[in-house]
Structure 1
Amino acid sequence: MRIPETKINEISNKLSIYDVVSDYVTLTPKGGRYWGLCPFHTEKTPSFSVSEDKKMFYCFGCHKGGNMFTFISEIENLSFPESVQRLAEKAGVELTVQEDEEVDKRYRAMMELYNRLKNSMHYILLEKETARGALNYLQERGIGEDTVREFSLGYSPDDRFWIYNFLISKKYSPEFLEMTGLFSKKNKKISLFSNRIMFPVINSSGKTVAFSGRQLDSFGGKYINTPETFFYKKEKRFSGFIQRLRR
Structure 2
Amino acid sequence: MRIPEVKINEIRNSTNIIDVIHNHVALKKRGKNFIGLCPFHQEKTPSFTVSEDKQIFHCFGCGKGGDVFKFLMSYKNISFIEAVQEIAEHAGIKLSFANESVSQEQTEQELLYEINVFAAKYFSNNLLISNDGEIARQYFKKRNIKASTQKTFGLGYAKPEWQDLVSLLTDNNFDLKKAEALGLIDRKTEGGYYDKFRGRVIFPIFSANGRVIAFGGRVFEADKNTAKYLNSQESIIYSKRKSLYGLYHSKDEIRRMDRAILVEGYMDLISLFQNGVKNVVASSGTSLTDEQVQLLSRFTHNIIVLFDADSAGQKAALRSIEILLKQNFEVKVVSLPEGEDPDSYIHKFGKDDFDSLVSKSKNFLEFQTEQFNKSGMLNEP
Q: TM-score, normalised by structure 1?
A: 0.58
Greater alpha carbon shift after TM alignment, 211-220 vs 153-162? 211-220
In structure 1, stretches of 5+ residues that fail to align are 15-78, 91-98
What SS is found at the alignment partner of 2:239? Answer: coil
Shift of 1:132: 0.6
CA distance in 1: counterparts of 2:235 and 2:84, whole angstroms? 26
Shift of 1:128: 0.9
- What SS does the corresponding residue of 2:157 show, helix, strand or coil? strand
Aligned to 1:32: none
Question: CA shift at 1:204, angstroms?
Answer: 2.3
Partner of 1:234: 240
Moved runs in structure 1, 4+ residues, more than 6 A?
Answer: none
Q: Which runs of 5+ in 2 are unaligned?
A: 9-16, 25-80, 93-100, 247-262, 272-284, 286-340, 342-381
Give 1:169's match in structure 2, choosing from 160, 168, 171: 171
Q: Counterpart of 1:120 in 2: which secondary structure?
A: helix
* Cα 1:204–1:89 shift into 2, 3 Å: farther
| Residue 177 (structure 1) shift | 2.9
> Which residue of 2 is the match for residue 149 of structure 1?
151
Residues 166-211 of structure 1, C-alpha deviations (whole Å, 9 max, x = no match): 2111112333333222233655612221011111100123110100
Count, aligned residues? 170
Question: Displacement of 1:82 after TM fit?
Answer: 6.2
RMSD: 3.4
Given that 2:187 and 2:193 are in contact with CA atoms closer than 8 Å, whether structure 1 keeps it comes out as no
Matched residue type, 2:237: F
The structural deviation recorded for 1:220 is 2.1
1:89 Cα offset (Å): 6.3
Matches within 5 A, 1:1-247: 14=24, 83-85=85-87, 101-184=103-186, 187=189, 189-217=193-221, 218=223, 220-235=226-241, 237-239=244-246, 242-244=266-268
Q: Find the aligned partners of 2:228 and 2:116 in 1 and give their Cα distance.
A: 22
After superposition, the C-alpha distances for 1:124-178 in whole angstroms (9 at most, x for unaligned) are 1010111111111111111110101111111111112212122111112333333
SS state at 1:204 partner? coil
Q: State the identity %.
A: 21
d(CA) in 2 for partners of 1:83, 1:158:
39
User: In structure 2, what is the Cα distance between the partners aligned to 1:210 and 1:234?
Assistant: 9
Alpha-carbon distance between aligned partners in 2 of 1:198 and 1:183, rounded to the nearest angstrom: 14
Note if contact 2:180-2:186 (Cα within 8 Å) is conserved in structure 1.
no
**Per chain length, whose mean CA-contact separation is higher, i.e. which structure has more relative contact order (CA < 8 Å, sep 6+)?**
1
TM-score (norm 2): 0.39
Please name the residue that 2:29 is paired with.
none
Deviates more, 1:108-117 or 1:182-191: 182-191
Structure number with higher helix proportion: 2
Amino acid at match of 2:205: V
